[in-house]
Amino acid sequence: MVKLRAGVIGVGHLGQHHARLYASSPDSMLVGVVDHNHSRASVIAEKYGARPFNDLLDLLKQVDVVTIAVPTSGHYPLAKTCLQAGKHVLVEKPIAVLPIEAQELVELATRNGCILQVGHSERFNPIMPLMRPHIRETALFECHRLGSYSERGVDVDVVLDLMIHDLDLLLSCNPGPIEDVRAVGVSVLSSTNDVANVQIQFQSGCVASLTASRISPKAMRQWRLFGSNGCVSIDFQSRQGVIGRRSADHGLTPMVAIEEIQAGDEEPLKLQLESFLYAIRTKSRPVVSGEDGAEALELAHRVLSAMKVSEQQKI
């Protein structure tokens, strides 16, 4: 089997790992990398047996697939260039800054017969496939994604930086049409919101409460779900899950039977990249398609709009 020739655009904190995984995958070979920091590109290229390119168009002539791992503001123009060149694209989350940009990328990928996958890596967290079968008839979602402050990612609001993960995961659980969105945000250290809370009401009656923060002293990535049949708890950091089921009481006091689940230590980014390469090989829809990324971004902008309404009501 001929290996797919891969390139990475942006080899900083996350892009360097895409380069590592392409270089080590039996399905791909890392041909080259591009970064605005040319010395950084040279270091990563040498480390993984590839070539540093100063010009993106030169790289695109040599590859079949690319990962785009630059700041969010660069996702749309770079993905557009790559798709126009007929390359398969894995773009880090969020797919773009604006929904209209995301939709254009989706249409461009379809028109050019390219696979477009979005890097919502939490979908590939090993705990998710184990817990997903237990996420049904949920009445209440509680989601917390907290992290410490970093200059990386602050070119966009915390909703697009962190909460977008949970918005994508939430939509992947098929909660149905949205009835109402209410949200508040707080700017502390950056020019955009660093903390956000949103309440999403679905037509089914289900309610989702999501909190994201990039100024917290302690990291947390947890979900708690409640329904008439019991509850589910997911810790994405420890990859642990807890299932609480209502047990038959037989006239006695109702009880909740607890089952604990521990997922393996597989690297989500590796699983994500393998899924991307598989979708290209089989010409199948990616696990996180461009359409999925566009839908999550659309909801993120509904959250941002709700924040503006909340802010105006304070005046």
Q: For position 191, what pLDDT does the model report?
A: 81
Phi-psi category of residue 42: left, alpha or beta, with phi > 0 → left and psi -120 to 50 → alpha: alpha
Domains of the chain (ranges; CATH) run 4-120+268-289 (3.40.50.720), 123-266+300-314 (3.30.360.10)
Distance CA 2, CA 218 (A): 45
The chain-wide mean pLDDT, for the chain, equals 94
Q: How far is CA 303 from CA 110, 133, 199, 307, in A?
A: 28, 28, 9, 6
pLDDT category at 8 given cuts 50, 70, 90 is very high
Averaged pLDDT for residues 104-129: 98
On whether the pTM is more than 0.85, the answer is yes
Least confident of 140-144, 213-217, 269-273: 213-217
Distance CA 73, CA 55 (A): 19
Distance CA 2, CA 87 (A): 16
260-307 pLDDT, tens digit per residue, is 999 999 999 999 999 999 999 999 999 999 999 999 999 999 999 999
Phi-psi category of residue 230: left, alpha or beta, with phi > 0 → left and psi -120 to 50 → alpha: left
Averaged pLDDT for residues 3-7: 98
Q: What residues contact 222, with CB distance under 8 A and at least 6 apart?
A: 143, 144, 233, 234, 235, 236, 237
Contact, 199 vs 209, CB < 8 A?
Answer: yes
pLDDT category at 252 given cuts 50, 70, 90 is low
Q: Is 219 exposed, middle or buried (0-12, 13-18, 19+ CB in 10 A)?
A: exposed
Averaged pLDDT for residues 45-50: 98
pLDDT category at 254 given cuts 50, 70, 90 is low
- Is it the case that residue 315 has pLDDT exceeding 60? no
Q: For position 192, what pLDDT does the model report?
A: 83
Q: What residues contact 174, with CB distance under 8 A and at least 6 apart?
A: none
Q: For position 93, what pLDDT does the model report?
A: 96
Residue with tokens 């696979």: 115
67-94 pLDDT, tens digit per residue, is 999 999 999 999 999 999 999 999 999 9
Query: What six digits make up the tokens of 89?
Result: 């694209």
